[in-house]
A and B are shown apart, each in its own frame.
Chain A
Amino acid sequence: MSDNLALAKQVDARISSVPPPMAMLAELTHRCPLACPYCSNPIALTRADEELSTAEWIGVFEQAAALGVLHLHLSGGEPAARRDLAELTQAAAAFGLYTNLITSGVGLTEARIGQLADAGLDHIQLSIQGVSAESADRIGGYGGGYGRKIAVAGWVAEAGIPLTLNAVCHRQNMGEIEAMIELAIRLKARRIEVATVQFHGWAERNKAALLPTRDQVELATRTVAAARQTYEGILVIDYVPADYYSTYPKACMGGWGRVGLNVTPSGRVLPCHAAETIPGLSFATVRASSLAEIWYESDAFNAYRGDAWMPDLCRSCERKKVDFGGCRCQAMTLAGDARATDPVCVRSPLRDRLTRETDRLSTLSSDTLIYRGR
Chain B
Amino acid sequence: MTGEAPVISGTSVVKLARGVRLRADAVRGQTVLLAPERAMALDDIAVRIVEALDGRRSLDRIAGDFAAEFGAPVEQIASDVQSFAHELAIRRMLEIVE
Determine the chain B residues whose CB is within 8 A of the CB of A67 once the complex forms.
27
Residue pair B1, A185 in contact (C-beta under 8 Å): yes
Q: How far is the CB of A269 from chain B (nearest CB, A)?
A: 18
Residue pair A232, B36 in contact (C-beta under 8 Å): no
In angstroms, Cα B36 to Cα A182, docked, is 20
Task: Look across to chain B and name the residue whose beta carbon is closest to the beta carbon of A164.
Answer: B36
In angstroms, Cα B25 to Cα A192, docked, is 27
Which residues in chain B, 81-98, are within 8 Å of chain A measured between CB atoms? 89-92
In angstroms, Cα B89 to Cα A234, docked, is 9
In angstroms, Cα B89 to Cα A190, docked, is 11
Q: A98-B34, A232-B5 are in contact. Are A122 and B19 (CB under 8 A)?
A: yes
Residue pair B25, A191 in contact (C-beta under 8 Å): no
Q: How far is the CB of A37 from chain B (nearest CB, A)?
A: 25
Q: Does A52 contact B (CB under 8 A)?
A: no
Q: B19, B23, B32 — which one has the most chain A CB atoms within 10 A of its CB?
A: B19
The range of chain B's interface size is: 20 to 34
- Cβ contacts A2-43/B at 8 Å (1 or 0 each): 000000000000000000101000000000000000000000
Determine the chain A residues whose CB is within 8 A of the CB of B17 once the complex forms.
162, 190
In angstroms, Cα B39 to Cα A317, docked, is 29
Q: Does A356 contact B (CB under 8 A)?
A: no
Among B23, B36, B90, point to the contact of A123 (Cβ < 8 A). B36
Q: Does A258 contact B (CB under 8 A)?
A: no
In angstroms, Cα B33 to Cα A70, docked, is 10
In angstroms, Cα B95 to Cα A365, docked, is 46
Determine the chain B residues whose CB is within 8 A of the CB of A234 once the complex forms.
2-5, 92
Task: Look across to chain A and name the residue whose beta carbon is closest to the beta carbon of B5.
Answer: A233
Which residues in chain A, 224-261, are within 8 Å of chain B measured between CB atoms? 230-236, 238
Q: How far is the CB of B13 from chain A (nearest CB, A)?
A: 17
- What are 12 A-B interface contacts by the 8 Å CB criterion? A22-B39, A66-B27, A68-B27, A68-B28, A70-B32, A96-B23, A98-B34, A100-B36, A162-B17, A191-B36, A233-B89, A233-B92
9 A-B pairs besides A100-B37, A238-B37 with CB distance below 8 A are A67-B27, A68-B27, A70-B25, A98-B34, A125-B36, A161-B18, A190-B19, A191-B37, A233-B6
